[in-house]
Amino acid sequence: MQDGTQVVTRIAPSPTGFMHIGTARTALFNWLYARGRGGRFLLRIEDTDRERATPGATEAILRGMTWLGLGWDGEAVSQFARAGRHAEIAHAMLETGDAYKCFSTPDEIAAYRETARAEGRSTNFRSPWRDADPADYPDAPHAIRIRAPREGETVIEDRVQGSVRWKNTDLDDMILLRSDGTPTYMLAVVVDDHDMGVTHVIRGDDHLANAARQSLIYRAMGWPLPVYAHIPLILGPDGKKLSKRHGATGVEEYQKMGYPASGMRNYLARLGWSHGDDEFFTDAQALEWFDLDGINKAPARFDFKKLENLCGQHIASAEDSGILTDLVAYLSAIDADPLTKTQEDGLSRAMYSLKERSKTYGELIEKAHFVLGSRPFLPDGKAAAALDPVSRGILIELTPHLQNASWTRDGLEDAIAAFAGEKDLKLGRIAPPLRAALAGRTVTPSVFDMMLVIGREETLGRIEDATGHSGN
Ligand code: GLU
């Protein structure tokens, strides 16, 4: 890339039916790199495997990207739809002698490899057609192969891996166009990246060897190579490749587990990239800080505790209105009933008390039961245990104090402190039954926050429901 050229990155997922967390991280790195530099971030669906590339599989990727907030520029490009253009380039390389027609049959290739193996030679296929006279060409199906150099080295200057070298004898004359006329993946990626103007290819290091082979196509066509950054894979906490054994690997599963997208972005950015000791950061900070130099060379290990911790911090620091929007999407993702207007209002009023110490939206919704439910609040098992007869008696005696209290935090704290003093009770004896009466649950915001949010009348009504005593 020349100085002053706009940065263009891309994510090029193959539709596999779901969006893998590793793909999400690669997408995020590309998004941060481009967006942080006023560049463009593109999406290409590598849908050439027609069996796997169902519309549903593509939609899963679009949904995952959208949930994560990784907006792309323009339309998503379909690789399959560009097969004609790929073939055109294979033919152009044929014209210049950078590619040749190969009439070897699959059986002949298998036999070549068999013999090579038996003789302890490289099994890279050496086509007898590479130097054949076109006058000898049969009228038969043929593939188009690249005429790869056989001497010297191919070097990829990778921004993460450093200089990586391959002996050209190890790079074979890969097929560009199959005998049925379909392009190979290797050809398609290069042609698409070139045509889309991609300046930086940031992708998993499982593609590093592909970069060497793909660079041969760039060179043959006289196209400038993109900047390469091959990032290490994500491992599970035990150091083995991240898999279902460790936990969820699909992005949408994380959405359903109630993690906020902002926390996911923060966590995924830290998974293999660092900026000093910074753990918690905003999108704006990540956009400003993200650079290829900060990508770690060693594979990152997925740490579920850290993910939860960061998500909790993002929920706590988010705008209340943003959380409400996220909650609506979360409830729809888990097929829960949508919120009523009353519930939304209740959530908005209670949000300040709910967003502290909620690591997921699921936890937040649990804690919000006192504004989501309605009277009578039947206690769950644990809450019922806090409403034994003695405790109910305490609530009955507390009632007149609440009837007369001034309904502010100080007023309520004073009223309960005065009552506790009068009865020689600790707050720890009063709060559990009060909590159980107000919410029917044991995990809730503080009793003061709940009373302030629901108001005096509702507070007294719920105590009455729990004690069976009207207080009049
Ligand atoms: N389609 C490839 C994958 O999903 C990515 C290709 C690339 O980034 O060059 O692994």
SS (H, E, C) 377-433: CCCCHHHHHCCCHHHHHHHHHHHHHHHHCCCCHHHHHHHHHHHHHHHCCCHHHHHHH
Within 10 angstroms of residue 71's Cβ, the number of other Cβ atoms is 11
Query: Where is pLDDT greater, at 247 or 313?
Result: 313
- Answer yes or no: is the C-beta of 207 below 6 A from any ligand 1 atom: yes
Tell me: pLDDT of 3 over 60. Answer: no
- Answer yes or no: is the C-beta of 450 below 6 A from any ligand 1 atom: no
Percent of the chain with pLDDT over 90: 94
Band of residue 4 on the pLDDT scale cut at 50, 70, 90: low
Catalytic machinery residues = 244
If you search the block for the tokens 């199959």, which residue do you land on?
178
Q: Are 435 and 385 in contact (CB under 8 A)?
A: no
Band of residue 54 on the pLDDT scale cut at 50, 70, 90: confident
- Answer yes or no: is the C-beta of 182 below 6 A from any ligand 1 atom: no
Range 110-129 average pLDDT = 95
- Answer yes or no: is the C-beta of 343 below 6 A from any ligand 1 atom: no
Name the token pair of 449. 């926050």
Range 221-247 average pLDDT = 94
Ligand 1 centroid – CA 334 distance (Å): 30
Ligand 1 centroid – CA 391 distance (Å): 63
pLDDT at 472: 60
Q: Are 33 and 200 in contact (CB under 8 A)?
A: yes
Residue from 14, 79, 208 whose mutation best tests the ligand 1 pocket (most atoms within 8 A of CB) = 14
Flag the least confident range among 44-48, 52-56, 345-349.
Answer: 52-56
Question: What order of strands is seen across the sheet that includes strand 99-102?
Answer: 99-102, 143-146, 175-177
Ligand 1 atom closest to 16 (CA)? 4
Sequential DSSP letters for 296-345: -SSPEE--HHHHHHHHHHHHHHS-HHHHHHHHHHHHHHTTPPPPPHHHHH
Which three-class secondary structure state does DSSP give residue 275? coil
Peptide bond into 232 cis (omega under 30): no
- Answer yes or no: is the C-beta of 190 below 6 A from any ligand 1 atom: no
Ligand 1 centroid – CA 201 distance (Å): 10
pLDDT at 2: 45
User: pLDDT tens digit string along 274-301?
Assistant: 999 999 999 999 999 999 999 999 999 9
- Answer yes or no: is the C-beta of 209 below 6 A from any ligand 1 atom: no
Q: Considering only CA atoms, which of 401, 392, 363 is closest in space to residue 462?
A: 392
Residue from 19, 82, 189 whose mutation best tests the ligand 1 pocket (most atoms within 8 A of CB) = 189
- Answer yes or no: is the C-beta of 12 below 6 A from any ligand 1 atom: yes
Band of residue 55 on the pLDDT scale cut at 50, 70, 90: confident
Tell me: pLDDT of 1 over 50. Answer: no
- Average model confidence (pLDDT) for the chain? 96
User: pLDDT tens digit string along 136-164?
Assistant: 999 999 999 999 999 999 999 999 999 99
Q: Where are the alpha helices (DSSP H) in 36-75?
A: 55-68
Model-level pTM?
Answer: 0.94
> DSSP character for 277?
T
Ligand 1 centroid – CA 171 distance (Å): 20
How far apart are alpha carbons 11 and 7 in whole angstroms?
14
Which residues on adjacent β-strands are paired with residue 42? 10
Ligand 1 centroid – CA 14 distance (Å): 6
Which three-class secondary structure state does DSSP give residue 220? helix
